[in-house]
Amino acid sequence: MSESILLTDISPDTLSEAVQLLDGWDVKQVPAEQLPRAVGGGTENGVRAVLIESEDPTILRSTIERAHAANIPVVVACADDVARRRAVELKAEEWYRCPPTPEEVAQRIRAAVGRGAPHLATAVDRVERVEYEQLLHDSLTGLPTLPVMIEQSRALFKERGELVVLYLNFVRYSKIEEIYGWEKLDAVLETTAAAVREFLEDTALSTSRLMVSFTNDDDFIFFHVPAAGVAAASENEITEIVTRLQRHVGGRIEAQHGEEIAALFDIYVGRAHVYYNPKIRLERLIYRGIREAANASRSIETRERARRVADLRTSLRDRSVYVDYHPIVVTETREIFGYEALARGVMRSLRSPEVMFDVAAEADLVWELSRLCRSRAIEGIETRLRPNELLFLNVDPHDFNDPAFNEHEVKYPTRVVIEITERTAIKDYPKFRERLKSFREKGFRFAVDDAGSGYAGLGSIANLEPDFIKLDISLINAIDTNFLKQNLVETMVRFANDHGAKVIAEGVEHAEEFNTVRDLGVHLVQGFFLHRPSTLPVASPAKSLVGN
Amino acid sequence: MTPAKKPPILVVDDNPDNAEIIRQYLEIRGYPTTVAHSGDEALALFETIQPAVVLLDVMMPGRDGWEVCRVMKQHPTLGRSVRVVMVTALDELRDKHEALQTGADDYVEKPFDLPSLAATVERNLKMRRAKAS
């Protein structure tokens, strides 16, 4: 590459600065009229680009033609617009207007070479390389994918004769994506991978050769090949390591992404011990090991789920569900407007409302759980909220089929806003609207939750005639840096104003996000930037927790 | 006498006339601008140019703008810092969601006027600087 020559009719003195910016280039100057012939020499003379200043159309044309015949890109220095037009017409790779800065000259030459000769082949090669790179290494975590890992461990496995596969099954990571959007899950996976790597350096496994793979979804696979003279980690050791790993990863995620997200997921680890067998193809042995470890992790998951269902039944019987109230404030004044009720299990395993309802769905206990959560939340209107504050209550559209849920169930209908998620497809709109009508007549108000997440268009939101439109969290996450999100929120605000509804932005975590949604005209805001959810004290109504 | 160095822009449009008009307009404003006429060419130039902002036409034969955006945004070293502006008529909400999915940062509605295009470039560069610091 150090032999790159720039053939030109411009004096090398003028170009010296630009050429310095191009690493490893030399300038070869020839008089303009000799350029076409010099170019004819082609790339074997080391000529990688031609820079021409001559305004003589004949010289320009024949230089470009000959250069292209020899697969050499051409940059034209243009004194005026006529020259520029000519350069474009003659299909010079690049041009610049005189006088240029040295940076610009360098940039043009670089671009010309980049797009230059054997044009299409290079282009396709480079694109393929970027794509293959993505197939081999996960761009988020930098971890190798499975095929790479198998290749890397082949020799080692053969030499040591055994390999332990650990399969880390992260449950409910998909939920993070569903609620917060893919950008959030990407960030969480990145944290996870870093935490896992950091943790493993400190464990008994670190003495062995260890490789980590990321299967491009949300599970991780470790290959543990014991070092020479060291026994493979025992079952007990691994169990102990796994417990600590879970705690470590959970802690890191909580520190970086908050407890709501940390409470969402679980890690189940399955293990398989694979012994080298010369009769069987090595990659098949490894794949079988992975499958065995994955199955093991699933059966642990199943056991754990059964335990949680039992926990849930106990919770329902003892009514051990409590409610955290998450303030919703008026954007302009930051005064508390109302609270969203977030039901949580008293038992540790059921802390997260998403987990609790997941378990309930499995055990067919959704209505029972919903009833308990509703009545717990509504109790708070009397005991915890101040007279002018509203209670936002999450209600699944399926709950409207529950005979126990009706417009007479609640004592203070005018203080309750029912949140309906846009995610659950509402099949029969006319019937659903009829049902909402009877609630509305009692004084209930409605909010469409997760709006603008791409599930439903504005038309179906309008169909529900909501009093509030709650924007999807993924739209608010880093909205200050993304103009597309800003545009979408602006559209939603305009739509709400036209329909007499108020827009609520939830998941506002940073000052920048708050300022952006305020400037976009969002009426109400909810999020950690202002308040965390809390159990409000009984009997003494909440003080107005105006943020600073 | 060297004016403050402005960051490079990559303009991707399969219509050479459009691309030239944008390029000229941006160059007069001091942005070193490179033009690519297809998605493949854009990706081939991506590593060499290391653009700060990519103005990306969506409707192109072969690799369309969405695909190009996705690949650029996943680039191991350049993906995080590049700002991708889709140039298209995204009147449907659905299109905007698709744009968000691919990781695009902004969009300019077609047909656009050049001053608003320059303003879009400007605000994305500002955001890029803010993020870097």
Give the pLDDT confidence of A75-133 residue by residue, as tens digits.
Answer: 999 888 888 888 877 888 888 888 888 888 888 888 888 765 445 555 567 667 767 76
Among A126, A133, A481, whose Cβ lies nearest the Cβ of B44?
A126
Asked if A102's CB is within 8 angstroms of B101's CB, the reply is: no
How would residue A211 be classed by pLDDT, with cut points 50, 70 and 90? low
A517 pLDDT above the threshold of 90: yes
Q: What is the mean pLDDT of residues A347-360?
A: 89
The pLDDT value given to residue A197? 80
- CB contacts of A469 in chain B (<8 Å) are none
The pLDDT value given to residue A116? 56
* Biggest alpha carbon–alpha carbon distance for chain B: 48
Q: What is the mean pLDDT of residues B78-87?
A: 91
Asked if B3's CB is within 8 angstroms of A126's CB, the reply is: no
The pLDDT value given to residue B1? 40
For chain B, the first-to-last Cα distance in angstroms comes to: 27
Q: What is the mean pLDDT of residues B112-131?
A: 91
Q: CB–CB of A120/B38 below 8 Å?
A: no
Asked if A115's CB is within 8 angstroms of B41's CB, the reply is: yes
Residue of B nearest to A125 (CA): B44
**Which region among A276-290, A396-410, A492-506 has the lowest average model confidence (pLDDT)?**
A396-410
Asked if B106's CB is within 8 angstroms of A482's CB, the reply is: yes
Cα gap A151→B89, rounded to integer Å: 46
The pLDDT value given to residue A73? 87
Q: In this prediction, what percent of chain B has a pLDDT beyond 90?
A: 32
Asked if B2's CB is within 8 angstroms of A115's CB, the reply is: no
Q: What is the mean pLDDT of residues B97-107?
A: 87
The pLDDT value given to residue B93? 66
CB pairs under 8 A between A and B: 101
- CB contacts of A123 in chain B (<8 Å) are 40-41, 43-44
DSSP labels, A469-481? EEEPHHHHTTGGG
Q: Report which of residues B6 and A3 the model is more confident about.
A: B6
Q: What is the mean pLDDT of residues A60-71?
A: 86
Q: What is the pTM of this model?
A: 0.76
Q: Which residues contact residue A315 at a Cβ distance below 8 angstroms, ignoring those fewer than 6 apart?
A: A321, A345, A346, A347, A350
Q: Does A487 touch chain B (CB under 8 A)?
A: yes
Write down the ipTM of this complex: 0.87
Highest mean pLDDT among A191-200, A228-237, A480-489, B103-112: A480-489
Structure tokens at B128: 């890029």
Asked if A182's CB is within 8 angstroms of B101's CB, the reply is: yes
Q: How far is A454 from chain B (nearest CA, A)?
A: 6
Asked if A484's CB is within 8 angstroms of B105's CB, the reply is: yes
- CB contacts of B34 in chain A (<8 Å) are 94, 107, 111, 115
Q: Chain B residues within 8 A (CB-CB) of chain A?
A: 2-3, 5, 8, 16, 20, 24, 27, 32, 34, 36, 40-41, 43-45, 47-49, 63, 71, 74-76, 79, 93-94, 96-97, 99-101, 104-107, 120, 123-124, 127, 130-131
How would residue B2 be classed by pLDDT, with cut points 50, 70 and 90? very low
- Reported as a single tens digit per residue, the pLDDT across A433-454 is 888 898 999 999 999 998 877 6
Strands (E), A191-230: 209-214, 219-225
Q: In this prediction, what percent of chain A has a pLDDT beyond 90?
A: 30
Asked if B75's CB is within 8 angstroms of A97's CB, the reply is: no
Distance (Å) of CA A537 to CA A232, A323, B37:
54, 11, 64
Asked if B48's CB is within 8 angstroms of A111's CB, the reply is: yes
A21 pLDDT above the threshold of 60: yes
Cα gap A437→A444, rounded to integer Å: 9
How would residue A214 be classed by pLDDT, with cut points 50, 70 and 90? low
Name the residue among B108, B95, B133 with its Cα closest to residue B26: B108
The pLDDT value given to residue A458? 78
Mutation target for A interface from B63, B106, B109, B123: give the one with most A CBs within 10 A: B106
**Which region among A136-140, A241-245, A347-351, B102-106 has the lowest average model confidence (pLDDT)?**
A136-140
A347 pLDDT above the threshold of 70: yes
Q: Does A101 touch chain B (CB under 8 A)?
A: yes
Per-residue exposure over A340-366, b if at least 16 CB sit within 10 Å of its own CB, e if not: bbbbbbebebbbbbbbbbbbbeebebb
Asked if A482's CB is within 8 angstroms of B100's CB, the reply is: yes
- CB contacts of B131 in chain A (<8 Å) are 481
For chain A, the first-to-last Cα distance in angstroms comes to: 59
Q: Does A127 touch chain B (CB under 8 A)?
A: yes
**Which region among A5-14, A26-35, A138-147, A258-267 has the lowest average model confidence (pLDDT)?**
A138-147
Q: CB–CB of B109/B80 below 8 Å?
A: no
The pLDDT value given to residue A117? 45
- Reported as a single tens digit per residue, the pLDDT across A219-277 is 888 888 877 777 777 778 878 887 888 889 889 999 998 888 888 888 888 889 899 89
How would residue B132 be classed by pLDDT, with cut points 50, 70 and 90? confident
Q: What is the mean pLDDT of residues A124-146?
A: 71
Asked if B48's CB is within 8 angstroms of A482's CB, the reply is: no
**Mean of per-residue pLDDT scores for chain A:** 84
Asked if A488's CB is within 8 angstroms of B96's CB, the reply is: yes
Q: Does A23 touch chain B (CB under 8 A)?
A: no
Among A108, A137, A484, whose Cβ lies nearest the Cβ of B99?
A484
- Reported as a single tens digit per residue, the pLDDT across B34-69 is 999 888 888 888 888 899 999 999 888 888 899 899
The pLDDT value given to residue A539? 52
Q: CB–CB of A317/A361 below 8 Å?
A: no
Asked if A127's CB is within 8 angstroms of B44's CB, the reply is: yes
Q: In this prediction, what percent of chain B has a pLDDT beyond 70?
A: 93
- CB contacts of A485 in chain B (<8 Å) are 100
Asked if B97's CB is within 8 angstroms of A107's CB, the reply is: no
A1 pLDDT above the threshold of 50: no
Name the residue among A544, A502, A545, A506 with its Cα closest to residue A528: A506
Q: What is the mean pLDDT of residues A276-293?
A: 90
A490 pLDDT above the threshold of 90: yes
- Reported as a single tens digit per residue, the pLDDT across A310-344 is 999 999 999 999 999 999 999 999 999 999 999 99
Q: CB–CB of A60/A86 below 8 Å?
A: yes
Residue of B nearest to A182 (CA): B101
The pLDDT value given to residue A207? 61
